Every structure is written in C-alpha cells, then in structure tokens.
C-alpha cells in the first residue's frame, strides 16, 4: 500500500468490521424493500480517506461481508474480493466530487427508471422529499453503463449538489452523509416516484413548494427508527 | 400523579395489560397490511380519563408492550418509555376535541398521501366507506409535523365530526370508538383510496350517494371477523 | 330433519368430510391469492339435494372444517356452527335458480368492486375469459348486503345464466359446476379485471370477440393443474 | 429409440441430471417472480440433438425433476412422464426453426398479455431491453392454444429472429441461447412491460433508440449474478 493509502485500514482489519456489516445490512434492506433486483450496489467511504467499500460481483440481496471489495478513487484494488465492480466509477467519481458524501447507492429502481425517461421529471408531492429540491432530482442523460472515469465524472456533474440523480433508461444514484441516510433516501425516492406516478392520472396535483419542503426540513428527524424497522424486516424474512 | 390523573391506572398496572397488547396488535396489523412504514403511530384512550397510551419512538411494526408511553392531553408524562412521541398532539388534541373518540391512528398511508394533494378529494365508490360522507374525508392543509398543540388543534378542527382526515403531503389521522374500529377504518380508507385512484382512469365512476351509504350502514356489522383475520395474518408472519 | 331433507347427510357424517375440506381449501386459496379480505364466503351444494355448506361467521382465510354451517335454500339450519352467515341468500337463491350450479363464491374482490361502478363494464381481453361473454359479466345494481330472499332473488336474476355477476360498490358472485371451478373462475375474473383496468390507459385495446372466446373454449382444459398449484401456495405459506 | 434419436441420452441417464435440475430451478424462478400462474412451461434443448425436456402436466411452481417429459420435435415421446404437454409445439416448432435457441419459456405473463392486445406495442424505455429491437417484440395474432404443428409454425414465423414474441390474449414465448438467458429475459420482459405501461400515463416518454440499445449491448454482461440472486429467492421461500 503506497503512502496515499497509508491511513486506510486493511480489508480484514477489525476497524472495518462494523462498516462492512452495515453495508451488507443496507444492501439487504434495499432488496427486501423491492428497490433492487439482481443488479445494483451500495458503497461506503472509509472515514477520512479516499477509499470505499462496495459489493464485488454479487447482487445486493446476496451480499455478505466476504463478498466486498476495498477500492480507491481510481479503482485501485486495496483488498477483499478480487473482482472490481464494473460500475465502480459511480461511487469513486461521486465521492471524489462530493467530500460531504459518505455513501452512494446505485439501483435500477423501477420508479427512478420510469421518471428517468419522462419529460416532466419527478416533482415531489410528499414531505419525504425534504432531501430534494421542489423541481425533483436532475437526470443524467448518457447511455451505457458507468464503467469509465469519464462516464462517472459526467454522472457526478449531473448530480451536482443534489442528494439524488436519475440515470436515463437505467436507474438512479442516491447519496448521503451516512450509509443509513443514503439507503433511506433511496427507499423514500421510490415512494416519491410511486406517488408522483399515481397523481398524474388525476390532473395537476398540489406539488410541494420550496417553502413547504423547508418547513418539513425544519422538523426534528428520527433516522434510527426506520433503520431499526427496515432491519427488522430483513431479519424476519431470514427466519428459518 | 396529581388529582386530575388520580383515576388513571399506573403504566405497569394490570388494568392496562390488555389495552397495551391490543394497541401493539393494532400497530402490527397496520404494518402487516402495508399501511405504515417506519413512521406512524396509534393511540388508545384510557377509558374514562384524559390520558392515552401510544408508541414511544418505535415504528408500528416493531412495537412491543414495553415501548409505549402514557401521556395526558397536555403531553404530560404519566409512565412508560421516557421519550414522548414527536407528534403526540395528533392524539391529544383529537381526543380532547372528540369525547367519542377512543382511539386515533396516524399513518403515512400511500393512498391518503396521494389524495391529500389531489383537487378532487377521495370520493367513495365502495360500501366500506360507510364511515365516511359521500364527499369523502376532509383535508388538513398545513405544512410541518404536528409537534405543537396549535397544529394539533388545527388538525382536530379540520377533522370536525368526521371519522378521518387527510393530512396534506403527509398522510392521515383516523378515529374510532374503539381501537379495533380505528385500525379497521384505516385499512378500509386505504382500500377506498386504491379503488378511487383506479377508477379515475375510466371516466366518471358511479360514486356512492349519501342514501346508498346509509343503506349499507343500516346493515349489521361484524367487526370481530376482520380483527380475527388481520391478527391471524400478523401471527402467521411471525411463525419461525 | 323433515322429509324434504331426508337425503341430506348429517353435518358430522363422513360423507361430508371431503367436501368440507375442499370448501376450506378453496377459501384459503382465495385468501392466499389476495382476492378476499376479512369478508366473503364460498359455498358448495350437497350433491343431489337442496342444501349447501358455507362459512359460519369466519373470514375465508381463517376457515376450518369446524366453522362451517349446513343450510337449506330457505336458510333453515341443518347442522354445524349455529350462526348463519348474514348473506346466506347469495348462495341459496343462486343455487335454487340455477340447478347447474354446485358452488358459489362471494368476495369483495378489488377488481370486481372497481368494475362494478364503471360505466363501460369488464370486457375481456384475455383467453381466461372463456367462461364469460364478450360483453363481460352483468352488474347487480342494488344497495345493501344480500341479507334477504328478495335481495338474493334479485341478485340471481341479475346473474341470469352467466358464470359471474358484479355487485355494485360491493364485489362479485361467481358460480361453477364444481367448487374448484368457482374458485378458479374467481381468481381469473380478478386477473381479467386487472388486465382490463391497465389496458384502458392505452386507448381502445383489442377486445376478445365471441368467436375468439369460442376458439379458446374449444381447447382442452386442465383444471387439476391450477388447483394443485394454488393449494401448494396455501400449504407453503402455512409451513412450518 | 430410432437412429434419429440415437444421440439423445435416456431420460434417466445421469447426463441429463444437471439439465433437469436447471429446468426445474428456472420454472421455480419464474413462479417466484410472479411471472407465471398455474399454467406455462419452459423447455431446454438436449445439446446437439433434436430433442428437448419440458414440464409434463404440472405448473411451473410445482415442477420437480420427476415431472418432466423428453420429446422430439414432432412431439414424439422419448422418456419421462407420459402426458405430453398440450402446447408442446411452442417449444418444438421454435427450436426447429431456430437452431440458435437452446431454451424457450412460455408464460401467461400479465405484462405480455396486456401488450399483446394493445395497438402501440411494447416499445422499450429501459436498458434491460438490449435483447429486443427498438420497436419491441412482434405479436402473434392467432386464437387458440398452440396445440398443433400448424399453430406452432405460425408462432415461430411470428417470432422470426427475435428474442420474444407476444401471443395475443394469451401471453408470450421467450427464447435464449441458454436456459438461464431465456428465464432472465422473461423476467426482464415483464419489467419492461410494467415500465412501458406506467409511462403511458405521462405523455410520450423517451423511447430507447436502436443506437442506445446498441450502446448498452456493448457493455459487459453478468448473467451469473441474477441467476444466483433469483435462485436464492426461491430457496429462501422454501425454508420451513
């Protein structure tokens, strides 16, 4: 390991144990909630470094702590499973461009896929959108998987300072200042998509204004509660 | 405990044992039926008092008899878990304004959320609406969580003498003369929302008239049957 | 037991054992497939008699062989649980009017409820409709539960010689020459409703003609296959 | 066994053991993902021969390695369960016309059924369509089950060189160069149908162009990942 990565713990170090488990839990949550299918991945930055953990060639629903890979922001291998994920630049390029981002989720969410090809965008009509602008998330218009630094950079540029970006004919990328936040935002983005889809049948709904979003944002938040809840749903499902 | 609450049983008293279990069961039912997500809560009035039991900082699907709180109508703590729920005024203000109400459910139901931002309201097309007016439930238009007595009072005013109120961009509050009734109405309100949503694609449906609702209301009711049924679905799910 | 019912086996007789189990299985299938909720019931005629078995005050999903009642076509009690079902005339009046009918299912199916209040009816677009006319099932327009012989007779009159009738703002009644057939038709009617609902968003679909329905009807049928399949889904759910 | 089939292994030979298990797994996957109901079947060609394995009179969800049949392309019986499937010509006629095809899936998929009767066809809006043309799959317009060589030939002619064909008022047939591919395409076709259905409510979406489909097709593919994933979902469900 060169000096650039001297502060990155070894893949098998006990320092990463909790982070790995949380990443696996988050992937299982996305799967349990029907957001992911056989594809998609989440990542988490190693705090204070330019390295991250993500899935190595496994579906989110089948993730285990042994099927992760540790990469730097150039895709350099730092440990874990040998196979780097084909779309690693989604995570690397967004984390490089956004130092505030600790975690990125990429899914082929049905709802994000839908709104990625609609002309009107995903304008929020529910308070769960308090992490979005009133105009909804931006859309990345490129074709092809994000397998290069160039495409990853274009995706990060489309994301700008938002919490989510829709990927045309493909899915979404959602970020957070913690893994829990990125996971929960991904779930809520799907809920917002479903609501916005249903509303369109009824004529113009009352879209949320920036002021209303600000009012809801000013309220206290309880992130531990949905995390406990969604985790309980994963565990219940696993009972023999 | 001051004289005002001298008739309220202690949180750990055996008098509250059945009521606590029923409250937990009701929350699990709402979760099992897909009405709630990580948020939302139900409450039940302690009969003959100005106090109620509700969830303390836990998702409905994760509720247990140990994670409840006993509060008075000013939010005063009377027992149980220390953390008062952020939106306790939903329950307190409605129960104060409506002596007939023994139980309140607050959820972020997808269907209530949808109709809360539509201009046409949720006009019923199925007999399950016999607890509603032909015009459907009123809508509370405020922004922000119901964390103050002022907002709780405005919500109760919007509810008036109805059985349910939609909360704009947020969800709903549904009341009953028993906990079972409030839970079942919440489930039926979701069913009514789904039906009304689907109907809109087909041109104007035959909405129920006040007379038809009255005819169905005059029929005998069998509240024990769906309660047994929904409880069986919760228990089946829990089997290892 | 008077002479009119001298050929009806006693409720506890071994002659009825298989029929009872099949009725319970059918109710569980309707529940497992999401057609019923806490309400609804199925019935089966005792072959060669004017008597039938149906559910006694229990949801289809909670049915057991001990919670059935044996009734004649006037609602006269012949054995089993004491509580006659409130809507027994659905079964009695249809069986009396239709000697070919061996079984009746009554549910509050979401799809039947929807099409019961739409002006265009449920016109089939899939071969599963081979038990229906190209115009779809008739609609019973009355309000109120079917708790009297008068309402039951009006329902049977609306059904005429069809295999199904939609009940306005309420649900449906579906008949068959066997219990298996009535159950499967109820499931297929729901499928047809879902398809017809979705199609309406796309402009006029290619509705099935009477000739096409006749072509599909001329094909061999395999009723044992779906019955085995749906039963396996009930049993899987009950594990462990 | 005559000389034409001298290269076909015996039904009980160990050479077919893995292929049988894979066929059963694939059928269970289609069932688990909600693509099939009590009907439908998949098949797999015995490599290098004019023979194939398919289901014998059993629903995909109930398939076992003992309930398969080995047939030649004229429907001639070569081993296994005695009952030939009524629609065997779907498999035989497509495999005869398309030497590249190793596997065929026939389902009554809700989404294929829907688009089979719509005038606009199923135009793709998501990258999963990379196995389809930008115009979507062709539609077989005939009525009646595919129980004859004539109907099977007409179906194969409608399929041409595509990967899927919709069958009017009936369902679909999807092919692959491996069983895994045919199964996964069937799942993805359903996803594409759902997306295209939802999009229509929002005005004209951005349909995929042939160029965009080519760009996505040029990306690396990971077929083992979804196969592992869908299989894990079948196995999880089976746990007692």
DSSP per residue, D82-137: S---TTHHHHHHHHHH-TT--EEEEE--HHHHHHTT-TT-----SGGGGGS-TT--
- Pairing relation of β-strands B139-140 and B164-167? parallel
Give the span between the Cα atoms of D146 and D108, in whole angstroms. Answer: 13
pLDDT above 90 for B37: yes
Contact B73, B92 (CB under 8 A): yes
Q: What is the pLDDT of residue D1?
A: 47
* Of D165, D43, D19, D36, nearest in space to D101 by CA: D43
- pLDDT at position A16: 97
Confidence of residue A70 (pLDDT cuts 50, 70, 90): very high
Residue A228 CB contacts under 8 Å (≥ 6 apart), including other chains? B38, B58, B59, B62
In this prediction, residue B84 carries a pLDDT of 85
- pLDDT tens digit string along B142-185? 999 999 999 999 999 999 999 999 999 999 999 999 999 999 99
Instruction: Please check the confidence at residue D192 and state whether its pLDDT lies above 60.
Output: yes
Burial of D27-62, coded b for 16+ CB within 10 Å and e otherwise, reads bbbbbbbebbbbbbbbbbbbeebbbbbbbbbbbbbb
In the predicted model, what is the mean pLDDT of residues C184-199? Answer: 98
CA distance B40 to B57: 10
- pLDDT for B5 equals 79
Round to whole Å and give the CA distance between B201 and C154: 30
Instruction: List all residues 6 or more positions away from A159 whose beta carbon is below 8 Å from its beta carbon.
Output: A94, A97, A98, A138, A140, A165, A173, A175
Over range B92-114, report the average pLDDT: 98
| Measured distance CA(C47)–CA(C101) in Å, rounded | 10
Cα–Cα dist B13/B44, whole Å: 16
The residue assigned the tokens 């993902």 is D33
Q: Report the distance separating Cα A134 and Cα A216, nearest Å.
A: 13
**Predicted TM-score (pTM) of this structure:** 0.96
**In the predicted model, is pLDDT for residue B100 greater than 70?**
yes
Mutate which: C117, C193, C205, C235, vs B, most B CBs within 10 A: C117
Q: What pLDDT, on the 0 to 100 scale, is given for residue A240?
A: 44
Pick from D131, D16, D135: which is nearest to D68 by CA?
D16
Residue D3 has pLDDT above 90, yes or no: no
CB-CB under 8 Å, A38 with D230: yes
What pLDDT does residue C121 have?
Answer: 92
Residue B199's Cβ-count burial label (10 Å; 0-12, 13-18, 19+) is buried
Cβ neighbours, 10 Å, residue A73: 22
The pLDDT of residue C4 is 66
> Which residues neighbour D153 within 8 Å (Cβ) at sequence distance 6 or greater?
D89, D93, D97
**A172/A177 Cα distance (integer angstroms):** 17
| Nearest-by-Cβ selection for A226 from B59, B119, B168 | B59
Q: How many residues does chain D have?
A: 240
Whether the per-residue pLDDT at D33 is higher than 60: the answer is yes
Hey, what are B60's tokens? 């409905």
- Predicted local confidence at residue D240, as pLDDT: 43
Q: Using CA atoms in the order B193, B194, B195, B197, what is the torsion angle rounded to 10 degrees?
A: 80
pLDDT in tens, C49-58: 999 999 999 9
Backbone phi, then psi, for B52, in 5-degree steps? -150, 155
Is the separation of the CB atoms in C74 and C43 below 8 Å? no
Query: What pLDDT score was predicted for residue D5?
Result: 79
Find the helix or strand (DSSP H, E) in which C216 lies.
helix C210-218
Question: Chains A and B: how many Cβ contacts under 8 Å?
Answer: 94
Percent of chain D with pLDDT over 90: 92
Helices (H) and strands (E) in chain B, counts: 7, 8
Given a cut of 90, whether residue B8 has pLDDT beyond it is: yes
Taking residues D142-146, report their average pLDDT.
Answer: 95
Confidence of residue A2 (pLDDT cuts 50, 70, 90): low
The answer to whether the beta carbons of residues B101 and B177 sit under 8 Å apart is yes
Which pLDDT score is estimated for C235?
87
Name the residue among C63, C66, C81 with its Cα closest to residue C25.
C63
- Measure the CA–CA gap between D65 and D104, rounded to whole angstroms: 18
CB distance C109 to C194 below 8 Å? no
D153 at C interface, C-beta within 8 A: no
Choose from C32, C59, C170 for mutation: most chain B CBs within 10 A: C59
Mean pLDDT throughout B194-222? 95
Calculate the average pLDDT of chain C.
95
Q: What is the mean pLDDT of chain B?
A: 95
In whole angstroms, give the CA distance from residue B154 to residue B176: 19
According to the model, what pLDDT value does residue D180 have? 98
- Residue whose pair of structure tokens reads 């470094």 in the numeric block: A49
pLDDT the model gives residue A225: 95
Interface test with B, best of A125, A129, A187 (most B CBs within 10 A): A125
The answer to whether C10 contacts chain B (CB < 8 Å) is no
The ipTM, to two decimals, is 0.95
Q: Compare CB distances from A120 to D191, D202, D218 and report the shortest one's residue.
A: D202
Which residue in C21, C25, C173 sits closest to C93, CA to CA?
C173
Per the prediction, chain D carries an average pLDDT of 95
| Chain C residue nearest residue B223, CA to CA | C38
pLDDT for B2 beyond 60: no
Query: Tokens standing for B185?
Result: 């109405």
Chains contacting chain D through 3 or more C-beta pairs under 8 A = A, C
Distance of CA B170 to the CA centre of its chain: 14
Q: What is the mean pLDDT of residues B56-76?
A: 96
What residues pair up with C167 in beta bridges, in sequence order? Answer: C140, C171
User: Residue C5 has what pLDDT?
Assistant: 79
What's the pLDDT at A84?
Answer: 85
Strands in chain A per DSSP E = 41-45, 51-55, 68-72, 77-80, 103-107, 139-140, 164-167, 171-176
Which pLDDT score is estimated for D2? 55
Maximum Cα–Cα distance for chain D, whole Å?
Answer: 59
Identify the pLDDT of residue D83. Answer: 84
Kindly report which listed range (A44-53, D2-11, D42-51, D158-167) carries the lowest average pLDDT score: D2-11
Instruction: Give residue-wise pLDDT tens across range C51-105.
Output: 999 999 999 999 999 999 999 999 999 999 988 899 999 999 999 999 999 999 9
Interchain CB contact of D143 with C (< 8 Å):
yes
pLDDT at B235: 87
User: What's the mean per-residue pLDDT of chain A?
Assistant: 95
Q: Looking at the predicted structure, is the pLDDT value of residue A190 above 90? A: yes
Q: Do D200 and C201 touch (CB under 8 A)?
A: yes
């Amino acid at each position: 390991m060169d000096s650039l990565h001297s502060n990155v713990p070894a893949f098998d170090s006990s320092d990463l144990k909790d982070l790995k488990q949380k990443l696996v839990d988050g992937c299982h949550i996305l799967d349990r909630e029907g957001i992911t299918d056989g594809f998609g991945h989440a990542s988490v930055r190693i705090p204070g470094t330019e390295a991250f953990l993500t899935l190595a060639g496994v579906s989110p629903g089948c993730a285990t702590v042994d099927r992760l890979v540790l990469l730097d922001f150039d895709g350099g291998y730092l440990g874990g499973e040998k196979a780097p994920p084909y779309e690693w630049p989604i995570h690397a390029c967004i984390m490089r461009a956004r130092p505030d981002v600790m975690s990125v989720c990429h899914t082929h969410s049905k709802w994000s896929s839908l709104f990625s090809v609609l002309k009107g965008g995903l304008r929020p009509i529910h308070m769960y959108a308090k992490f979005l602008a009133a105009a909804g998330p931006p859309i990345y218009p490129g074709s092809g998987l994000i397998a290069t630094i160039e495409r990853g950079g274009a995706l990060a540029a489309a994301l700008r300072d938002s919490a989510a970006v829709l990927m045309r004919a493909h899915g979404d990328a959602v970020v957070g200042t913690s893994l829990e936040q990125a996971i929960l935002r991904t779930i809520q983005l799907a809920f917002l998509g479903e609501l916005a889809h249903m509303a369109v049948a009824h004529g113009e709904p009352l879209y949320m204004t920036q002021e209303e979003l600000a009012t809801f944002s000013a309220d206290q938040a309880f992130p531990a509660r949905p995390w406990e809840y969604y985790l309980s749903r994963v565990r219940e499902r696993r009972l023999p």
